[in-house]
């Protein structure tokens, strides 16, 4: 019985590492198919015999789509099945109080990490879109005078004469998008929230919160302070609840701030619409 208990954690660790390795390998294959598809499309545009490269385009694109769907569906289903089996094991063994606390800590960290991932995606999208709009506006605005000069020289194809009209219009549209949507504000707010969540997550992971430190507090002589297992577990439960509350406060404060901004914008629009000339 003891030998099986000592072997099972190693087997679980080996299984987990092999799953991570398989996931990385399939992800690399997915990126290879995407890069190959992009390279094949470029070659197709300049090659004389296009039939072979069109076939390669279809093969690489099909491979990329298949791996993308397979990776997202297979591994998400496998992770869900592993979590459910772990829950069933803990729920079926009420005496595993330490394991139950460990599961609660993992769930709390997973919840925080999900919020971090969501706000990181918001930060990334807002930042990239903001930079794209700003750079596009600058480029189109700078190229327009050159195109006007080329148009006056009356050289080049006919479609080139339309560019001095199209590019300023695009620059105006991009500038309007950049000013209409608070992308820079959203990016900076999301960045602040990510930093706060990661700070709370790091303190909780390292067990350096006030309640965690209290549960492992020692006497001046270096010996652990006399507490029962029930008292230590109660302190750890309080540490988990405090961590969840801190994460929720950070998240809900941001949601409340966005709701207040929307209400203020609607109020300003309503007051502007009823204002008499």
What residues does each domain of the chain span? 12-78
Q: Phi first, then psi: what are they for 224, rounded to 5°? A: -65, 140
pLDDT value for 18: 66
Structure tokens at 96: 């595993």
Scanning the chain, the segments in alpha helix (DSSP H) are: 2-46, 50-91, 97-153, 163-180, 183-205, 210-215, 229-274
Q: With contact defined as beta carbons under 8 Å apart, do 17 and 10 qualify?
A: no
**What's the CA gap between 128 and 122, in Å, rounded?**
10
**100-123 b/e (C-beta count within 10 Å ≥ 16 → b):** bbebbbeebbebbeebbeebbebb
Task: Quote the pTM value.
Answer: 0.56
Q: Phi first, then psi: what are they for 208, rounded to 5°? A: -115, 20
**3-class secondary structure, 218:** strand
The list of the chain residues with pLDDT below 70 reads: 1-20, 75-97, 150-161, 208, 210-227, 263, 265-266, 268-277
**What's the CA gap between 185 and 191, in Å, rounded?**
10
pLDDT value for 193: 92
* Cα distances (Å, whole numbers) of residue 139 to 60, 95, 152, 159: 33, 67, 21, 19
Q: Which residues pair with 201 in a beta bridge?
A: none
**What's the CA gap between 274 and 277, in Å, rounded?**
9
**What's the CA gap between 177 and 140, in Å, rounded?**
15
If 0-12 CB within 10 Å is exposed, 13-18 middle and 19+ buried, where does residue 187 land?
A: buried
């Amino acid at each position: 019985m003891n030998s099986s208990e000592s072997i099972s954690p190693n087997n679980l660790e080996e299984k987990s590492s092999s799953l991570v390795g398989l996931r990385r390998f399939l992800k690399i294959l997915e990126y290879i198919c995407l890069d190959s598809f992009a390279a094949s499309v470029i070659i197709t545009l300049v090659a004389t015999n296009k039939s072979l490269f069109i076939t390669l385009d279809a093969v690489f694109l099909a491979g990329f789509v298949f791996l993308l769907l397979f990776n997202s569906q297979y591994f998400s289903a496998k992770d869900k099945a592993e979590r459910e089996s772990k829950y069933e094991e803990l729920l079926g063994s009420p005496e595993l109080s330490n394991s139950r606390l460990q599961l609660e800590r993992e769930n709390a960290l997973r919840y925080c990490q999900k919020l971090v991932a969501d706000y990181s995606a918001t930060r990334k999208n807002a930042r990239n879109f903001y930079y794209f709009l700003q750079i596009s506006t600058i480029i189109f605005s700078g190229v327009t005078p050159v195109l006007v000069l080329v148009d006056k020289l009356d050289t080049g194809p006919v479609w080139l004469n339309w560019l001095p009209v199209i590019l300023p219009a695009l620059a105006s549209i991009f500038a309007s998008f950049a000013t209409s949507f608070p992308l820079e504000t959203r990016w900076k707010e999301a960045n602040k929230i990510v930093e706060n969540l990661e700070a709370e997550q790091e303190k909780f992971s390292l067990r350096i919160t006030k309640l965690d430190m209290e549960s492992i507090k020692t006497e001046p002589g270096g010996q652990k302070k006399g507490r029962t297992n029930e008292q230590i577990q109660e302190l750890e439960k309080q540490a988990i609840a405090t961590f969840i509350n801190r994460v929720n406060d950070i998240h809900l404060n941001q949601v409340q701030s966005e709701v207040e901004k929307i209400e203020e914008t609607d109020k300003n629009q309503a007051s502007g619409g009823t204002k008499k000339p």
